[in-house]
Chain A
Amino acid sequence: MNYLKIKILIVLVFLLFHSNAQSENIDLVNKISKNIRCLICQGQSVYDSQSDFAISMKIAIKKKIQEGYTENQIYDYLIGQYGEWISYNPGFNKNTIFLWLLPILTFIVGGWLIFKKTKFFKL
């Protein structure tokens, strides 16, 4: 009797975890596919597209998650396969230094100009 209870409990716990893991998987697939470009579409993400490419891509991402890849590992894997073009999240490397720094520089220069044009005390 006790043994059966424990067995049921184990199954229940397993089911609970399993279903949880399942829904987390789907959320993660959605999250990743939003950041991946559908290569055969005009400016759509894999998430937004229903093309064959996008569908097979979603399956591939799901498979990688089941194999135990982390989110970042999946991005790295896809970039390795298809090149930087596939990722909507440009990394920080020698090609993208100015992409990240120019806006920040604009902000700093703007702030400096305003600082120069401001009086801080009553004169």
Chain B
Amino acid sequence: MFFSQLGYYSLIFGLIFSFLLIFVSYKDLKIINHSINSKIISFVFFQLFFVFLSFICLIISFINSDFSNVTVYNNSHTTKPLFYKISGSWGNHEGSLLLCLLVLTLFIFIFLITSKKEPKKFRIITLLFQQIIIIGFFLFLLITSNPFSYLFPIPKEGLGLNPILQDPILAIHPPILYLGYIGSSIIFSSSLAAITQNYVNNKWAKNLKSWTVISWFFLTIGIMLGSIWAYYELGWGGFWFWDPVENISLMPWLCLIALIHSVIVLEKRSQLASWTLILCISSFTLSMSGTFLVRSGILNSVHTFANDPKRGIFILIFLFILILISIFIFFIFYKPITKDQKNFLYSRETSILINNWFMMYFLSVILIGTVYPIFLEVIADEKISVGPPFYNKLLIPFLIPFLILMAIGPNIKWIQDDIKLFNLRLIFLFLISVLISYFVLIIIGLNGLFTTFLIGVALYLLVTTISDFFIKKKINLSQKISHFGFSLLILSIILNGIFSSEISTNIKVGEKYKFKHGIIYFEEVKNFKKQNYISVVTTFRIKEDNKKEIFLKPELRIFNQPENITSEADIKINFFSDKFLVVNLVKGNEYYNIKYQTKPFMIWIWLSTIILASGGLINFFQRKLNEK
């Protein structure tokens, strides 16, 4: 009760500080000196404090199971473990928005205290644009999604959190993902501020790059955590489903990759300024559109947990305002610093442009694949589904030239390189990679020109990156690590796709099932009473030809609040291959449906994503060290 009230009024205080900040900043803009008014920084701090307080209040309400709060009532239950009571506070629509707001205010505070070397006006105007976004979120929370709504009479028990969300990885997945999404808000605000201040130059690019890599880092890790969760909890061994919500996270991700590359050209060569600005604006707009599509319930997806047309319309209006502001500022204020000149074909500039070209293509495939069905339904009243076959057909063939160019690109010098330098080493490595891929596929008994080339070029990127690492005197460590991680990721995904195998059958306790390469024994079933569910643990013994016997214990969890059964796979993780077993009840008899899968290189997918992301983190810290 008390904490709900406190949380609600903290939000209102936070909103008041937004208006105070706009007023103080406006006055401070007219004063010409180097440092910004200390009031501004303390106001931003107070705003952060109040939003934080409000967030803590929500968490306390969840811990106390205060069912006079509608959000708590809808998403919690007294028997839920403490950890999930806490994570449940952001595992719902209202709470997740409050978390977004917290990150927004946190980031602008960090921006202000770390940008002391930047021009005063640029900092203040960035703050102003950020405040527009913050006000939008405040109003959205207070008007349509108040996390502290009051419920009377007070229910004795809550409705509980969706069991599939009661998972340690899913507890940290949203906060990390939001750090990535909301990080792009700073990119957005600072790019608009830079336009108005005519500050779109290499100095600005330097500061921008740190925000870009760190947002991208969090987004990558956030997406990966979601994918790991889907692998063991949601899917039957799949890790990416081309679900609209997954696609939506991928769009700003691709946009940020394009930005990470184009901003280098701006920093080093003072070129591509307008293109970089467009990417800055798009990455945040795409993040926001994602929020709109998910929260409005337009999309048919596993993630739509709260939808309400009123909310959809609010976000849509907000989105339009943001886009209008950015278009207006871009076209009215923007004066290009240098005339963009033509680049030579064999130059780093062109190779980075080619990276952006492919990123925009991948982005367009995903964007169109995701929104096209919505438009078609509105315009022609026809319902179509766009799923994995569409994305595979349009994305995979383009990976071949992309991976080749990605291997060559970092070897090309700025401004102009000699064609002569287009050297033997690169051609030799290419031939070797394709040959290895060819022979490996022949040994395994697979063939096909396309697969040979696909694996070949992924291998090519891998060996080229490694060879660059040892040959070059001056290496760009973060770039090498990220490219290496990416090649490993693509390779693992392809090999995983080709070599995965599965067996599915119905079986009861005490029975065995023979398959091509072995036998599965169903040993026993045991029931355990847990805090808020009944756990049915099944034990299987699996003997495969020429392999050690393994035991797998997949589990079924029967929840009461809300009534639901989740199926927890048991996975034997191995360096080269995962063994994945999942059970399900067959209605009306004692048989269990089991699915036993062999998933090669699964762990490599996660490891290579971590390597890919760590390149970004290394780049971030290198920059921070160089500044000092």
Report A's interface with B, CB cutoff 8 A: 23, 26, 30, 34-35, 37, 42-45, 47-48, 50, 52, 83-90, 95-96, 98-100, 102-104, 106-107, 110-111, 114, 117-120, 122
Contacts and interface: CB of A to CB of B under 8 A. Distances in A.
Contacts of A42: 300-302, 304
B562 interface: no
Interface string B327-365: 000000000000010111100001001100100110011
Contacts of B384: 84-85, 87, 90, 95-96, 99
Given A45-B241, A85-B383, A102-B372, 20 more contacts: A35-B387, A35-B389, A43-B241, A43-B244, A43-B299, A45-B387, A48-B241, A50-B567, A84-B382, A88-B386, A88-B388, A88-B389, A99-B372, A99-B384, A99-B390, A103-B368, A104-B394, A106-B364, A114-B357, A120-B345
Contacts of A48: 234-236, 238, 241
Contacts of A52: 587
Contacts of B166: none
Interface string B364-404: 11001100100010001011111111100010001000000
B243 A43 contact: yes
B383 A119 contact: no
A120 B354 CA distance: 15
B159 to A, nearest CB: 18
15 contacts: A42-B302, A42-B304, A48-B235, A50-B584, A52-B587, A84-B382, A87-B384, A87-B385, A89-B387, A90-B386, A96-B372, A99-B368, A99-B369, A118-B342, A119-B345
B357 A88 contact: no
A117 B368 contact: no
B343 A117 contact: yes
B357 A111 contact: yes
B324 to A, nearest CB: 24
Given A42-B300, A43-B243, A99 B386 contact: yes
Contacts of B383: 83-85
Nearest to B364: A106
Contacts of B299: 43
Contact of A119 (B241, B343, B368, B386): B343
Contacts of A104: 394
Contacts of A83: 383
A86 B386 CA distance: 10
Contact of B390 (A86, A89, A106): A89
Pairs of residues from A and B, 4 with the lowest C-beta to C-beta distance, nearest first: A88-B387, A89-B389, A106-B364, A85-B383
A110 B241 contact: no
B30 interface: no
Given A103-B364, A106-B360, A110-B361, A90 B343 contact: no
Interface residues of B, number: 49
B63 to A, nearest CB: 30
B343 A95 contact: no
B167 interface: no
Nearest to B350: A118
B516 interface: yes
A25 B235 CA distance: 22
B577 interface: no
Contacts of B388: 34-35, 88
B502 interface: yes
A85 B345 contact: no
A111 B234 CA distance: 39
Contact of B394 (A30, A95, A103): A103
Nearest to B502: A30
Contacts of A103: 361, 364-365, 368, 394
A52 B340 CA distance: 60
